[in-house]
């Protein structure tokens, strides 16, 4: 029997994009602006991808991120996921972390 992850229905990318931006409305202004810019850039970068496997992966990951029931908001990243990330992805994650800390006024 397939589990919930395997039977997840994928949203159309444009609908998901709009839903993510809508969910950012509850964030503080600085975080909302940063989140909106990041989402817009990611969706723009993936706009011309025609490989179905990449599209499914991209949409399913963003859909999971946008669903708080899946632990998408404020979820701690497990070491297995971090091990799978490329150096470029880890760099982007670090930059995002630094920007969030800066916008929240944390001087760590």
pLDDT (0 to 100) of residue 67: 77
In the chain, where are the structural domains located? 11-75, 77-108
The rounded mean pLDDT for the chain is 82
Closest CA to 8 of 66, 63, 77, 68: 63
Alpha carbons 51 and 48: distance in angstroms, whole number: 9
Q: How do residues 29-68 score in pLDDT, each as one tens digit?
A: 888 898 899 999 999 999 898 899 999 999 988 888 887 6
Choose among 7, 31, 35: nearest CA to 21: 35
Task: Please state, as a whole number, how many other Cβ atoms lie within 10 Å of the Cβ of residue 59.
Answer: 19
Cα-trace Rg, the chain: 15
Report pLDDT digits (tens) over 11-30: 899 999 999 999 999 888 88
Instruction: Specify the pTM.
Output: 0.61
DSSP state of 25: G
């Amino acid at each position: 029997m397939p589990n919930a992850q395997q039977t997840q229905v994928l949203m159309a990318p444009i609908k998901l994009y709009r839903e993510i931006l809508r969910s950012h409305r509850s964030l503080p202004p600085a975080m909302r602006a940063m989140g909106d810019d990041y989402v817009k850039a990611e969706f723009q970068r993936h706009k011309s991808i025609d490989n179905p496997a990449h599209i499914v992966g991209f949409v399913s990951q963003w859909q999971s991120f946008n669903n708080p029931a899946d632990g998408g908001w404020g979820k701690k990243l497990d070491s297995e996921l971090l091990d799978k990330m490329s150096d470029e992805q880890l760099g982007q994650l670090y930059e995002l972390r630094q920007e969030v800390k800066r916008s929240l006024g944390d001087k760590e």
